[in-house]
Structure 1
Amino acid sequence: MFDKILIVCIGNICRSPTAQFLLQRELPHKHIRSAGLYAMVNTDENGNERGQEMNSQAREIAEKHGLICGAHEATQFTSELGRNHDLILVMEKRHRDDIAKRFPEALAKTMLLGEWDAQREGNKDIPDPYRKSDEVFEQIYKLIERNTMLWANKLK
């Protein structure tokens, strides 16, 4: 039923690629991508847009935990990306609200990555570690890992 899954955060360089690589490891038979509502994309000297690579702190923390993070280039969330996926997982309620406002056709298939986390009753958001300490990245990695495992068990 949910064979194409899109994981979304703001810049698509920390949280969503980490969750993408974790969920892909657990569900190798599914198509899993990530995107950012305001993706970290740069324009080169020729006017071509290129998404930034995965944040080095996020990659280092993930790899320290044994997660293999492949190549990554930040991708901008679009209406087409939303249409082409069966399930869209976001990190924060405000991301879902943003999708509701800008891409209302995608709202019905948009849920929080932290939706099933009973340990965080009342606050299902996964905060942004960008420009924070390694300790914060470590905490956020553990939240993402726990919640991707919860989703993987539901989607198997």
Structure 2
Amino acid sequence: MTRILVVCLGNICRSPLAHGILESKLPKDSFYVDSAGTAAYHIGNSPDHRSIKVAKTHGVDISGHSARQFRVSDFDTSDYIYAMDASNYNNIISLARNNDDIGKVKLFLEENNSVSDKNVPDPYYGHISDFEYVFDLLEATSKILSAKLKE
């Protein structure tokens, strides 16, 4: 089984969306997708209501997700770790114990060559339109990534 972890700051906006979208595109018998945040702000909380709403509009249910914090043991249990932006990438890398850990970490948008800015914007302080934009960005990249992973 291939294990994928997507990581943002609080694990209530971007990473639950990426988690739900990517999970919907991969066969569950071969892939396990999870998400986490680098900060402890929202541990145990559901995703932001706007993330839930936008995902539901597109047929993805993330309402059962519970936020958790990234931990060093995630390096052991994940084959791929995708950070939503450079800040979270650096936070993850700072916890790496060796080059094998570092080799598992990439920016999520590195998989999408049509996007020049490789940072998924954080919609938390924005409007529903910002969540829609992030969903579309994650959806397009998840299509590319899922095709690559299934090869």
Runs of 4+ in structure 1 off by over 3 angstroms are: none
2:124 aligned to which of 126, 130, 133: 130
Match of 2:104 in 1: 109
> SS of the counterpart of 2:106?
strand
Please tell me whether Structure 1 or Structure 2 has the larger radius of gyration of its CA atoms: 1
**Identity rate of aligned residues, in percent?**
31
If the length of structure 1 is used for normalisation, what is the TM-score? Answer: 0.87
Bigger CA drift: 110-119 or 72-81?
Answer: 110-119
What is the CA distance between 1:70 and its match in structure 2? 4.4
RMSD: 1.5
- Aligned residue pairs, count: 146
Bigger CA drift: 100-109 or 69-78?
Answer: 100-109
Distance across 2 between alignment mates of 1:39 and 1:32: 20
Contact 1:12 1:39 in 2 (8 A): no
Q: Which runs of 5+ in 2 are unaligned?
A: none
Distance across 2 between alignment mates of 1:64 and 1:116: 25
Distance across 1 between alignment mates of 2:64 and 2:140: 23
Contact 1:6 1:32 in 2 (8 A): yes
Distance across 2 between alignment mates of 1:78 and 1:153: 28
Match of 1:60 in 2: 53
Distance across 2 between alignment mates of 1:103 and 1:52: 26
Contact 1:21 1:67 in 2 (8 A): yes
Q: Which runs of 5+ in 1 are unaligned?
A: 42-49
